[in-house]
Structure 1
Amino acid sequence: MTGLGAVFRPQLAPERLRSVARLADSAGLEELWLWEDCFREGGVSTAAAALAWTERLRIGVGLLPVPLRNVAITAMEAASLHRMFPDRPILAVGHGVQDWMGQVGARVESPVTLLREHLDVLRALLRGERVTVEGRYVKLDDVALDWPPAQPVPVLAGATGPRSLRLAGEAADGTLLTASTSPEGVRRARQLIAEGQESAGRAPDPDSPHQVVVYLLTATGPDGPARIKAELEAEGLGSVPDLGVAGDAGTVAKAVQRLADAGADTVVLQPTGDEPDPEAFVRFAAEEVRPLVP
């Protein structure tokens, strides 16, 4: 079955999260995703609150920018969330927006090298291993978690370019793709992820397959097409075909299915930044779109 989720955009004030998360939980939506966008809302703090306010909803953070975070802190926070709320947090790590990383003095010369080192060490720490490493960016001396997760924890990598997508296949348990990814882009991502898995000698595991999550820019209502167009143009994506969807539940479900047919395991509906009613958007996803997605 194709997973379905929705995004709580950080353009909304943090105090709006409680009502949206509780509605998503009660309406039966599988996943609610949060962003750690500079300089809006912290990913781990909002995820912890949303997990505490809900009972069954999975909460994704897509994504935690690795230049901002010491890997030991990321591991401690991930382990704490997974021990308190087993199987419900979903954490993705990635490069972050390079201009924002520059603003805070965290931009690195080789983002791919940093992400590789971060992924390798993060996954080792979450497995309960004791790590000493002297990498280009990641340096740990005899570090282990006192409270590692009780069960294996998948770590997703946010990726867009070919090198990062291959790295996701080599070193991550899943991949998060942005709303700038068309169905053809998902197919290409799957190919590059598989190349990375092969180069690292990671045979596909049927019991724990590499999960691909993709955002889908979505709008409803009579002004939906205009809002989609405006946001894509603002992102410099106005001329890219097959991005975003505006319309009723049937139209959105067909767009979800196209991404699923291309290789997405989970599609997360991403409202526009000016979505006028986030609660209604979540209800639309859970009660109208979900029944139409196999």
Structure 2
Amino acid sequence: MTVLGAIALPQLPPERLRGLVEDADAAGLEELWLWEDCFLTGGVATASAALAWSRRLRVGVGLLPVPLRNVALTAMELATLHRLFPGRAIIGVGHGVQDWMGQVGVRVPSPMTLLREHVTALRSLLGGERVTVDGRFVHLDGVALDWPPPSPAPILIGASGPKTLRLAGEIGDGTILTAGTTPEQVRAAREVIGDGRLVVYLHTATGPDADERVEGERVRWGYPSAVDRAATGDAAAIAEQVRRWAEAGADTVVLQPTPDDPDPEGFVRFAAREVRPLL
């Protein structure tokens, strides 16, 4: 069965996150996804708070940009989340937006090499191993976590281009595809990554101005058309669209509201109470 999630965009002021999380949890939303976007909110801080404010909600972070993070620190933080909230944290990592990485002085000449080294070391650390590595970008000397997760901690990788998709299929436990990915592109990605979990974000808007807001997203992201890149309408119309992405190979479809959605809290309730029962 397809998992349905929703995104709490980082444009939401942090002080409003608790109310949205509590609404999502009470409404029965399966997964709430958060972003670590420069220069808005931190992924681990918001995920930890969201997990603490909820009882059953699974919380995803899609994604942590690896250039920003020393792999030992990433492992420490993720191990802590997995021990505090077993089975409820879903963490993705990726290249990050290269312009942003340049702004903070961490852009690297080979993002693919960094991602491979980071994920490989991260997996070993989360697995309780003592790690020594002297890579091009990742350097560890006998590092081991005192409190590794008691069970395997899946690592998802954000990907779009063919090289990163292949890497995600090779070393990741799943792949996150950005909003704007068409069903046909989902099918192509599934062929590359194989059997790992496939998460796709889907631009979504409901209400009387839904088409207008999605058109704003189309312009913002430079899509030639919103067809096959977004879902609009009432719950039945959006559920029908979600099924198309699921049939193309997505295990999880995460509804992504527009940044100007007038009611972010209402959006997560709508996803859980009106769209989910139709899938």
> Which TM-score band applies after superposition, normalised by the shorter structure?
over 0.9
Amino acid at match of 2:158: G
State the partner residue of 1:40.
40
State the partner residue of 1:272.
258
Amino acid at match of 2:156: L
State the partner residue of 1:131.
131
Tell whether the 8 Å contact from 2:214 to 2:226 is kept in structure 1 after alignment.
no
State the partner residue of 2:196.
210
How high is the sequence identity, in percent, across the aligned residues?
Answer: 67
State the partner residue of 1:118.
118
How far does the alpha carbon of each residue in 1:218-253 deviate from its partner, in whole angstroms, 9 at most, with x for none? 000111001001112111114364101110001110
Tell whether the 8 Å contact from 1:229 to 1:238 is kept in structure 2 after alignment.
no
User: Post-superposition shift, 1:144?
Assistant: 0.6
Of 191, 208, 216, which residue of structure 2 is paired with 1:222?
208
User: Post-superposition shift, 1:180?
Assistant: 1.8
2:157 is equivalent to residue 143 of structure 1: no
Of 232, 244, 250, which residue of structure 1 is paired with 2:236?
250
Q: 2: distance between equivalents of 1:166 and 1:180?
A: 20
* 3-state SS of 1:257 partner: helix
How far does the alpha carbon of each residue in 1:49-89 deviate from its partner, in whole angstroms, 9 at most, with x for none? 00000000000000000000000011000000000000000
State the partner residue of 1:186.
186
Of 272, 275, 278, which residue of structure 2 is paired with 1:286?
272
Q: 1: distance between equivalents of 2:46 and 2:218?
A: 27
* 3-state SS of 1:105 partner: coil
Gap runs ≥5 in structure 1: 195-208
* 3-state SS of 2:40 partner: coil
Q: 2: distance between equivalents of 1:111 and 1:236?
A: 24
2:225 is equivalent to residue 236 of structure 1: no
Amino acid at match of 2:16: R
Matches within 5 A, 1:59-70: 59-70=59-70
How far does the alpha carbon of each residue in 1:179-216 deviate from its partner, in whole angstroms, 9 at most, with x for none? 0211001001111113xxxxxxxxxxxxxx51000000
Tell whether the 8 Å contact from 1:219 to 1:247 is kept in structure 2 after alignment.
yes
Q: 2: distance between equivalents of 1:180 and 1:216?
A: 7
Tell whether the 8 Å contact from 1:43 to 1:61 is kept in structure 2 after alignment.
yes
Q: 1: distance between equivalents of 2:223 and 2:14?
A: 28
Q: 2: distance between equivalents of 1:94 and 1:189?
A: 16
Q: 2: distance between equivalents of 1:113 and 1:257?
A: 36
4+ residue segments displaced more than 2 Å: 238-241
Q: What is the root-mean-square deviation of aligned Cα atoms in Å?
A: 0.8
Gap runs ≥5 in structure 2: none
The TM-score, its normalising length taken from structure 2, stands at: 0.99
2:233 is equivalent to residue 260 of structure 1: no
